[in-house]
Amino acid sequence: MTLTEAQVERYSRHILLQDVGGEGQEKILNAKVLVIGAGGLGSPIALYLAAAGVGTIGIIDGDVVDVSNLQRQVIHFTPDVGVPKVESAKNKIQEINPDVNVVTYQDIVHSKNILDVIKDYDFVVDGTDNFAAKFLINDACVIAGKPYSHGGILRFDGQTMTHVPGEACYRCVFKQPPPANAVPTCSQAGVLGAVAGMLGTIQAAEVLKYIIGVGDLLVNRLLIFDAKSMKFRTSNFKKNPNCPVCGENPTVTELVDGEQAVCDLKV
């Protein structure tokens, strides 16, 4: 595949980068990325991946746009209220970049469908809002051998890490989901809209770095930031040999649906 004149023009600011060039851009154009959740994190992730020219973007989300989403879910606009989120997202992506092939799934991920959905993608991005889904995505990706980006936000805080096969997974750090209601859900806590944007774009950058193969991913590292003090830090951790999913004697060998403390105020 060679870039067309219009593509050279469109992606020139990528091509200029020494680490990207034409070759890197072609990798992006050939990549397939699944974004789980078209909410606060999924919006910036999908927008930036679309603008970057990711060839195929899959989006899975079962909700319709609610007016309370618009404070942070920037891919949806006021006239979209009531429209399925995946539809609304697809329309925006195609307006940004007609090069992108968008595949939509109007559904939530659960233990029965997730392996089937992720199997066609090179990379999975977690933009969900609850621990049950986060553990499910982690377990599915570890089992299926897919790299993925974990992301979570609450109030003014964000955290993210990247998993690639063979390296530490989310469960290596957090063994199991906290009991339902042990942590505040978004409805109790709220979230600053821009924090979703901050974390989502960090995740999008990780995806692109992975695709073109440059830099150091947040592998075996957890990035945590507090937007109130605007302090970022990363803490290193190791693959845990006793990890229930990726350890030497895994106890999680098939997927189950946890109890989902579903958030009223979707991330």
169 interface partner picked from other proteins, Zn ion, none, CB below 5 to 8 A per type = Zn ion
Binding mask 18-57 for other proteins (x = CB under 8 A): x--xxx----------------------------------
CA distance 49 to 109: 21
Could you tell me the two tokens for 132?
A: 């049950």
Return the number of other C-beta atoms located less than 10 Å from residue 217's C-beta.
20
Is residue 3 part of the contact set for other proteins (CB under 8 A)? Answer: yes
CA distance 195 to 198: 5
Is residue 6 part of the contact set for other proteins (CB under 8 A)? Answer: no
- The piece of 97-105, 118-126, 127-135, 169-177 that touches Zn ion (CB under 5 A) is 169-177
CA distance 52 to 17: 13
**Residues 94, 96, 101, 106, Cα dihedral to 10°:** -60
**φ, ψ at 32 (rounded to 5°):** -125, 120
Is residue 15 part of the contact set for other proteins (CB under 8 A)? Answer: yes
Nearer residue to other proteins within complex by CB, 23 or 264: 23
- The piece of 8-16, 81-89, 140-148, 195-203 that touches other proteins (CB under 8 A) is 8-16
Is residue 169 part of the contact set for Zn ion (CB under 5 A)? Answer: yes
User: Please, which of residues 218-247 interact with Zn ion by CB under 5 A?
Assistant: 243, 246
- The piece of 16-24, 83-91, 92-100, 241-249 that touches other proteins (CB under 8 A) is 16-24
Tell me the number of residues near Zn ion by CB under 5 A.
Answer: 5
SS3 65: coil
SS3 244: coil
CB of 69 closer than 8 Å to CB of 56: no
Q: How many residues does the chain have?
A: 267
Residues that bind other proteins (CB under 8 A): 3, 8-9, 12, 15-16, 18, 21-23
Residues that bind Zn ion (CB under 5 A): 169, 171-172, 243, 246
